[in-house]
Amino acid sequence: MSRFKAVIFDLDGVLTDTAHYHYLAWKRLAESLQLPFDQAYNEQLKGIDRMGSLELILAQGRRSYTAQEKLALAEQKNQHYQTLIADMTPADLLPGAVAALQRVRAAGLGIALASVSKNAATVLERLGITGHFDYVVDAAAIARGKPDPEIFLTAAQALGVAPADCLGVEDAVAGVAAIKAAGMTALGIGHPFVLTRADVVITSLADFNLAAY
Structure-model confidence comparison of residues 81 and 133, the more confident one: 133
Pairing between strand 135-137 and 185-189?
unpaired
The answer for residues whose C-beta is within 8 angstroms of residue 196's C-beta and 6 or more apart is none
How much is the pLDDT for 97? 98
What confidence score (pLDDT) does residue 43 get?
84
The question of whether 87 is a catalytic residue gets the answer: no
Catalytic-role residue among 12, 92, 138, 171: 12
- Asked whether residue 194 carries a pLDDT value surpassing 90, the answer given is yes
Give the model's pLDDT for residue 44. Answer: 85
Fold of 19-85: DNA polymerase; domain 1 (1.10.150)
Domains 6-16+90-212 and 19-85 share a fold: no
Mean pLDDT within 169-177: 95
Q: Is residue 117 scored above 90 in pLDDT?
A: no
Average pLDDT, integer, range 186-192:
96
User: For strand 200-202 and strand 185-189, is the pairing parallel, antiparallel, or unpaired?
Assistant: parallel
207 is catalytic: no
Residue 137 has pLDDT above 90, yes or no: yes
DSSP per position, the chain: --S-SEEEE-SBTTTB--HHHHHHHHHHHHHHTT----HHHHGGGTT--HHHHHHHHHTTSS----HHHHHHHHHHHHHHHHHHHTT--GGGBPTTHHHHHHHHHHTT-EEEEE-S-TTHHHHHHHHT-GGG-SEEE-GGG-SS-TTSTHHHHHHHHHHT--GGGEEEEESSHHHHHHHHHTT-EEEEES-TTTSTT-SEEESSGGG--GGG-
Evaluate if residue 196 carries a pLDDT over 80: yes
Is residue 126 predicted with pLDDT exceeding 90? yes
Residue 213 CA to chain centroid, in angstroms? 21
Summarize pLDDT for 33-63 with one digit per residue, the tens.
Answer: 999 999 989 888 877 888 999 999 999 998 9
In single-letter form, the type of residue at position 162 comes to: A
The pLDDT-based confidence of 102 (bands split at 50, 70, 90) is very high
Band of residue 186 on the pLDDT scale cut at 50, 70, 90: very high
pLDDT at 1 over 80: no
Return the minimum-mean-pLDDT range out of 36-50, 106-120, 140-154, 162-176.
36-50
CATH superfamily of 6-16+90-212: HAD superfamily/HAD-like (3.40.50.1000)
Domain ranges of the chain: 6-16+90-212, 19-85
pLDDT for 141 equals 84
Tell me, what's the pLDDT at 15?
97
Tell me what pLDDT residue 47 has. 75
Residue 144: HSE in the Cβ half-sphere, 13 Å Cα cutoff = 11
pTM score, whole prediction: 0.84
